[in-house]
Structure 1
Amino acid sequence: MSTTITTLVRQHRDCDEAIEQVEACVRAKDWDAAAGAFARLEFALQGNFSTEEQRLFPAFEQAVGFSNGPTAVMRHEHDEVRGLLDNAREWLELKDVAALAAELDTLVVLLQQHNVKEENVLFPMCQAQVKGLDTLLADFASGPAAHP
């Protein structure tokens, strides 16, 4: 597996851990900590999405000659995640434990399914099709997303 793909997979795991932190803070009703954990989650997801949408997906689309395939599906799912984050942020601001927990549960399921598709289908396709993948993405996927 390429260094870049390994980094992207690690970013997925970092996002999973960030969601767990948000959930733990919400269960404890520590709203300040929950807000901080949520900000870290958003930052980590946006960093991962940016790397994929600005570099990985265009490189793959150029290599294969079309953009209506798996990258279109992944972009759509990124948009769905962004919508769930917007909803979750509102529930967090309202301190609605039940609604926020439900929104986070939906987010977890969507991200699990999304990450499986990227890691088991799209990333291997990118490795096979995109020449110089690690060089192309070196400045974007240089490690786990930094905390805000």
Structure 2
Amino acid sequence: MGSTDNWLTHEHSLYENLISRCMEAIEVEDWQTTDVLFMKMVAHLKRHMALEEEVLYSAYEAASHAPQGPTVALREEHDDIVRLVTDMAQVIKSRNSDLVLDCMTRLEDRMIKHHEKEEDFFLPMASHILDASREEISQQLDTFDMSKSDRKWDI
């Protein structure tokens, strides 16, 4: 979590890339690769959301001068994405490539819109508001223990 103003932004492209690769595997009905790529994305996404919700959003919400609406909306979007990912895990099992591609496209669209909100609005604002605590927050991000994560996934 180095020196850029947009903390965690680099991970968004990872998920978008994994979804694209997963869609390519679905198109040729390579279900083994689809399963591997999808679960890899889920594992990374679980950690990413936990870091945002439990470290970054929480630090932002604790800042007395921070507007309190943005993280409520971002947490709700995380809930929606988790539901879509959980549904996607079941849809993939159908091995119906048209259905799986349609659902994966919806997931991809939802994630891209969420990433854009974070990258274009929230992260620059949070970086400014939390600048005085940046080293402490960066340390928390670097040492976060996933086994203590609050969010429980059904995957």
TM range (shorter): 0.7 to 0.9
2:139 equivalent in structure 1: 138
Residue 115 of structure 2 corresponds to residue 115 of structure 1: yes
Q: Say whether the 8 Å CA contact 1:55–1:137 is kept in structure 2.
A: no
- In 2, the alpha carbon distance for the partners of 1:96 and 1:87 equals 14
Give, as a single letter, the amino acid of the residue that structure 1 aligns with 2:49.
F
- In 2, the alpha carbon distance for the partners of 1:99 and 1:67 equals 40
Give, as a single letter, the amino acid of the residue that structure 2 aligns with 1:140.
L
Q: Decide whether aligned partners of structure 1 residues 126 and 6 sit closer, same or farther in structure 2, where only a CA change above 3 A counts.
A: closer
Tell me the number of residue pairs that the alignment of Structure 1 and Structure 2 aligns.
Answer: 141
What is the correspondence of 1:1-40 to structure 2 with a 5 Å cutoff? 3=3, 6=6, 8-40=8-40
Q: Under a length normalisation based on structure 2, what TM-score does the superposition of the two structures give?
A: 0.82
Q: Say whether the 8 Å CA contact 1:60–1:126 is kept in structure 2.
A: yes
- In 2, the alpha carbon distance for the partners of 1:38 and 1:123 equals 26
* Percent of residue pairs identical: 21
Unaligned runs of 5+ in 2: 144-155
Secondary structure at the counterpart of residue 141 of structure 2: coil
Q: What is the CA RMSD across the aligned residues, in angstroms? A: 2.0
- In 1, the alpha carbon distance for the partners of 2:72 and 2:142 equals 21
Q: Shift in Å at residue 132 of structure 1? A: 2.2
**Residue deviations 1:94-116, cap 9 Å, x none?**
11211111111111111111111
Give, as a single letter, the amino acid of the residue that structure 2 aligns with 1:138.
Q
Higher relative contact order (CA 8 A, sep 6+): 1
Q: Shift in Å at residue 76 of structure 1? A: 0.5
Consecutive aligned runs of 4 or more in structure 1 exceeding 3 Å deviation: 4-7, 64-68
Q: Shift in Å at residue 134 of structure 1? A: 4.0
Q: Say whether the 8 Å CA contact 1:22–1:37 is kept in structure 2.
A: yes
